[in-house]
Amino acid sequence: MRPIIAAVLVVVGVSAFAQARATGPAAAIKNPVAVRGKYLSLVVGTSATTVVPGARVTLLVQVTPRPKIHVYAPGQDGYIAADLSVTPNPAFTVKPLVYPPSRPSKFAPTEETVKLYDEPFQLSQELVLAASAAIQRRAASGDNLTVTGAFKYQACDDAVCYRPETVALTWTLRLTTPSQKSKVRSQK
């Protein structure tokens, strides 16, 4: 019996290690802002503190469910999955949202296997800034670009699923020109 338990533990450990390597470490969040939901906490920020017109920047959301709480992953039928939305704006285009791998879990009351997140996870939403004349002017003046969005989820514990919640989010990007950005780098 002990060799079987040891083998199962090795397989589980290797699987967890492989999953951690596949997702990689969470990206460092610049300009972090803490936001609280009813059943989880969020840290919202970006991959860069400044951005030039035409460049890419990633919006990051670190989600930490409270103890004994989980949220559902995309692709889980019959449940409301965690979702990040960004308000459309002509100042940028939005690329597809990147979710980390979820954890399958067997829900005892229904004997159903579900995809969920019950540990901290990070969502990544890449934006491509417009290179329009209007954005170029804003960058030349050192203007900020405010990006708004929302995180929608339904939290559950082992016994009940709670009412869905939508948490409003805001990211602030400092616009700059390529020449201003290189000056800042050379002064460091």
- Sketch out the chain's domains with CATH numbers: 27-177 (2.60.40.1250)
d(CA 167, CA 141) in angstroms, rounded, equals 32
Residue 180: the pLDDT is 63
Res 40 pLDDT > 60: yes
Amino acid at 34: A
In whole numbers, what is the pLDDT of the chain averaged over residues?
84
Residue 176, class by beta-carbon neighbours within 10 Å (0-12 exposed, 13-18 middle, 19+ buried)?
A: buried
Percent of the chain residues topping a pLDDT of 90: 67
Length of the chain equals 188
d(CA 12, CA 20) in angstroms, rounded, equals 12
Average the pLDDT over each of 23-27, 40-44, 83-87, 170-174 and give the range with the smallest value: 23-27
Residue 115: the pLDDT is 93
Coil, helix or strand at residue 39: coil
State the residue for tokens 């939305």.
85
Q: For the whole model, what pTM was predicted?
A: 0.79
Res 11 pLDDT > 50: no
Res 184 pLDDT > 60: no
d(CA 115, CA 174) in angstroms, rounded, equals 37
Residue 78: the pLDDT is 84
Residue 110: the pLDDT is 75
Mean pLDDT, residues 5-23 taken together: 34
Cross-strand partners of 83: 152
Res 21 pLDDT > 80: no
Average the pLDDT over each of 32-41, 76-85, 86-95, 137-146 and give the range with the smallest value: 76-85
Res 13 pLDDT > 50: no
Residue predicted with more confidence, 68 or 78: 68
Residue 25: the pLDDT is 61
Res 143 pLDDT > 70: yes
